[in-house]
Amino acid sequence: MTSTNLHQLFDEQGQSPWLDNLRRNWIHNGELQEWLDKGVRGITSNPSIFQKAIEGSEDYTEQFGQLLGEGKSIEEAYWGLVVTDIEDALKLTRPIYDSSDRLDGYVSVEVDPGLARDQAGTEDAARGLWDTIDEPNVYIKIPATKEGVPAIANMIAEKRSVNVTLLFSVERYQAVMEAYISGLERAEGDLSAISSVASFFISRVDVEVDKRLEAIGTPEALALKGKAAIANGKFAYAAFEATFSGPRWEALVERGAQVQRPLWASTGTKDPSYSDTLYVDTLIGPNTVNTIPDSTLSNFLDHGTVSRSLDADVEDAKAVLTKLAELGIDLREVADQLEDEGVASFEKAFDSLIESLTEKAKTL
């Protein structure tokens, strides 16, 4: 098999490239397997991805009709469609999970986004998805809201693997890492089957910060465009390295614990004036994951740069964050806004899909 940039990312740099997309026809026409053969090592999904997949094809119509015929509600039928795709994708990635000693080969499915501010509801939904799918290489996605953080700790304590999503600030990321570690400390016995990643969103930070820099409009402000997200990611990685070291962590390693790897999410380039592989090339480092849209994956396969970059130029990153603060741009406030927008976006996608399925049910 020909070695690609994606193989080299993992073999040479210790970073796992995942695919941030999932469609039923990809599972059955061999396209998903082709991505895995090219070096993809895991798959992530979210409500927006399923909205596009289900509304954009007839691949789901037959099963949807069957589920309705069994007396399922529209929402129950939706989850039936989602679980089927996740289970079929898990079969394709299971060899990676087995051969990597549980490092990769995961497929992520997100709880109902309407539960983002509901700890108890999130926990019930996470347990339900985990128990229904019942495969060791599934990740249940839980948003890193204030209400989500304690839910994450409880799921880890119950030995359920979690992909923490919608992370925008280093401060919240530190709370998530603490939730993971405290959850491990509460879990009984061997910890080696518990896994987690923390999805730190990248490009959306630049979209919002660039907008604010353009509003300021000075040469100093405009010179910072396209730099905030990468600087934020570098500081998140430094926090990761500091957290997963020392006596407290080593005591968990002795019980089989794995680090909760940072996962760079939202890594497709939104601004066409930036490199189309910007958020892959600049965030390469060991013990990390980058979940990448298929279009960006194709670009990286063609002309991406495989070179350790995540812990380079840290002083420059610090200077960027300092200058942003001096200009009055508060990244914590930006993160709060982006979290609210992210939750609302996923809720809108979910609600829109339920509406379209309701209309489709009338025609069946």
| Cα–Cα distance, 145 to 342 (Å, whole number) | 11
pLDDT tens sequence across 122-140 = 999 999 999 999 999 999 9
Q: What is the pTM of this model?
A: 0.96
Q: Please report whether residue 344 resides in a domain.
A: yes
Residue 114 has pLDDT above 80, yes or no: yes
Q: Is 38 a catalytic residue?
A: no
C-alpha pair distances (Å), 261 with each of 86, 186, 197, 289: 22, 20, 5, 7
Amino acid identity of residue 280, one-letter, is: V
Query: Which residue among 141, 227, 234, 360 is the active-site one?
Result: 141
Phi, psi for 110 (deg, rounded to 5): -100, 140
Candidates 126, 133, 127; CA nearest to 106 is 133
Q: Please report whether residue 108 resides in a domain.
A: yes
CA angle 40, 31, 44 (to 5 degrees): 45
pLDDT at position 2, please?
Answer: 86
Q: Please report whether residue 118 resides in a domain.
A: yes
> Which 3 state secondary structure label does DSSP give 263?
strand
Amino acid identity of residue 308, one-letter, is: R
Q: What is the mean pLDDT of residues 247-275?
A: 97
Q: Please report whether residue 163 resides in a domain.
A: yes
Long-range pairs of 308-311 with CB within 8 A, sequence gap ≥ 24 = 308/13, 308/284, 309/281, 309/282, 309/283, 309/284, 309/285, 310/233, 310/234, 310/237, 310/282, 310/283, 310/284, 310/285, 311/234, 311/237, 311/238, 311/285
pLDDT tens sequence across 294-342 = 999 999 999 999 999 999 999 999 999 999 999 999 999 999 999 999 9
Q: How many domains does the chain have?
A: 1
- CB atoms closer than 10 angstroms to residue 363: 7
| Cα–Cα distance, 262 to 252 (Å, whole number) | 18
Q: Please report whether residue 24 resides in a domain.
A: yes
Q: Please report whether residue 34 resides in a domain.
A: yes
Q: Residues 6 or more apart from 36 whose CB is under 8 A from it?
A: 92, 93, 96
Q: Which domain holds residue 83?
A: 5-204+232-310+339-363
pLDDT tens sequence across 190-237 = 999 999 999 999 999 999 999 999 999 999 999 999 999 999 999 999
Where residue 131 sits, what CATH number does that domain have?
3.20.20.70
| Cα–Cα distance, 160 to 162 (Å, whole number) | 6
pLDDT tens sequence across 140-164 = 999 999 999 999 999 999 999 999 9
pLDDT at position 364, please?
Answer: 82
Q: Please report whether residue 266 resides in a domain.
A: yes
Q: Please report whether residue 221 resides in a domain.
A: no
| Cα–Cα distance, 139 to 104 (Å, whole number) | 11
pLDDT at position 363, please?
Answer: 87
